[in-house]
Structure formats: structure tokens, C-alpha cells
Chain A
Amino acid sequence: GQNIDQPTEMTATEGAIVQINCTYQTSGFNGLFWYQQHAGEAPTFLSYNVLDGLEEKGRFSSFLSRSKGYSYLLLKELQMKDSASYLCATLDSNYQLIWGAGTKLIIKP
């Protein structure tokens, strides 16, 4: 079957670092996406990984290990505006996106 797991909710402090994990089991793999979704708004693209390793983009980094079926999103220097849900999704063998339920990140001052 196809399955994506990520924590339901996390809490972090403004200025700190947080790591959101995602594990997956999908039929075929053609890459992994992270999207950000603020409450009541549409998801917006953050990152795409298809090769193992770390991709850095400003305060956000995304890591992938295909052998372990594992990814994480790392957010540095947290700001209040980073309070949102973070969605992990994989591209399966048919190039269809399989979505996790999302991790709600709460930032406290």
C-alpha cells in the first residue's frame, strides 16, 4: 500500500530551529515535495527532492534518504509567520502525488 506519515502537530519557539519528519512507503518513487499551507489558504510549494541529500533554500532546508524512505524539512530562525501546516507528498510510479495529512506547526513567542 501507499502511506505517508508525519507528526500531527509540533510546537517551537520564535528564533529556534525545528525539524519536521516525513516517512513514506509508496509504489515507485519519483521525488518528494514539501508544501506550506497557512490556515484557510492554498498550499504553496517549498521544495522538491529526488536525489539523496540536503537542499538548502534560505531559512528552509529539505533532506531526503531514498533508502530509508525518509525526509525532513528544517526551518531555521523561526518567525511567527512560519506558523502553518507543512505537507509532505511523494510522486509515485504514475507521477501522481500522494499526500501526507500535514504537520501543524505552532510558533510561540
Chain B
Amino acid sequence: DVKVTQSSRYLVKRTGEKVFLECVQDMDHENMFWYRQDPGLGLRLIYFSYDVKMKEKGDIPEGYSVSREKKERFSLILESASTNQTSMYLCASSSGTDYNEQFFGPGTRLTVL
């Protein structure tokens, strides 16, 4: 059974803290993605990666960075958390084909106080 896991389901942090969100997939997928999801808005792409050590900015990369040191792991980093980064964060992965079905992790609900 395909699986994408995220390190935490719920996280509460304070403004200014550095936050790490971890995502691991066991499907040997080349592509990995980080989204945030807010009420009334569609999924918005923060960063994605097509290969190890490779990263590309999505639609809303400001305030975030990522790391992909191993194929199965893609980390999202909030260098200095702010209250407007309170959101649901979803990680996804897909194989390296054009038909890009994405498999999602359970999500991390981050609250920044």
C-alpha cells in the first residue's frame, strides 16, 4: 500500500520560531511537493522537487525553504514562523511520468501563536 507520512498531525509554535515539517514516502517517487491549504482557497504549491538535492519554487515560496537530501524525504522549513503561516500543510509525491497522480500525506495542522 502506497504511503506518504508526515511527522506531525498537529503542531503549535510561537512567532519567530524555526519550524521543520518532515515528509517521507515509501513509493520510490521522484517528485515531491509541499502545499498549504486554507479555507476557501485551493491547494497552493509552496515548493516542489523532481530529484534529490533539487528544488523549485511554487506559487507561494516566501517565508519557506525546503531540503531534499534523500529521495524519500522532503522537508519544509519555516525560518521564522509568523501568524499568517497558520495553515494545513500537505505533502504529496508522484512518479516521474507525465500523468502526474499525486499521493498525499495526512497533513500537518500548524498553528502559530
CB distance from B69 to the nearest CB of A (A): 24
CB pair B43–A87 under 8 Å, yes or no, is: yes
**Docked-complex contact B42 and A42, CB < 8 angstroms:** no
Interface residues of B (CB under 8 A from A): 4, 40-45, 90, 98-107
Complex A-B: 11 CB contacts under 8 Å: A31-B99, A42-B4, A42-B105, A43-B43, A95-B100, A96-B45, A97-B102, A101-B40, A101-B41, A101-B42, A102-B42
Whether A33 is near chain B, meaning CB under 8 Å from some CB there, is: yes
With contact pairs A41-B106, A42-B107 given, residues A33 and B101 touching in the complex (Cβ less than 8 Å) = yes
- Per-residue interface assignment for chain A, residues 1 to 34, with 1 indicating a CB less than 8 Å from any chain B CB and 0 otherwise: 0001000100000000000000000000011010
The listed residue with most B CB atoms (<10 A of its CB), out of A41, A43, A89, is: A43
Instruction: State the CA gap A101–B4 with chains docked (Å).
Output: 23
Given contacts A30-B98, A91-B100, A95-B100, contact A42 B90 (CB under 8 A): yes
Nearest residue (CB) in A for B101 is A45
Q: Quick check: B100 and A87 within 8 Å, CB to CB?
A: no
- B103 contacts which chain A residues (CB < 8 A)? 45
**B107 pairs with A41, CB closer than 8 A:** yes
A interface, size bucket: 20 to 34
The B interface, classified by DSSP as helix, strand, loop or mixed, is loop
Given contacts A30-B98, A31-B99, contact A43 B42 (CB under 8 A): no
Q: Give A89 to B45 CA distance when docked, in angstroms.
A: 12
Contact (Cβ within 8 A) B101 A99: no
By the criterion CB–CB under 8 Å, are B104 and A43 in contact? yes
Chain A residues positioned under 8 Å from B45 (CB to CB):
96-97
> With A and B bound together, what is the CA distance between A89 and B42 in angstroms?
9
Contact with B along A69-109 (1 / 0, CB 8 A): 00000000000000000010101000111111110000000
CA distance A96 to B105 in the complex (A): 18
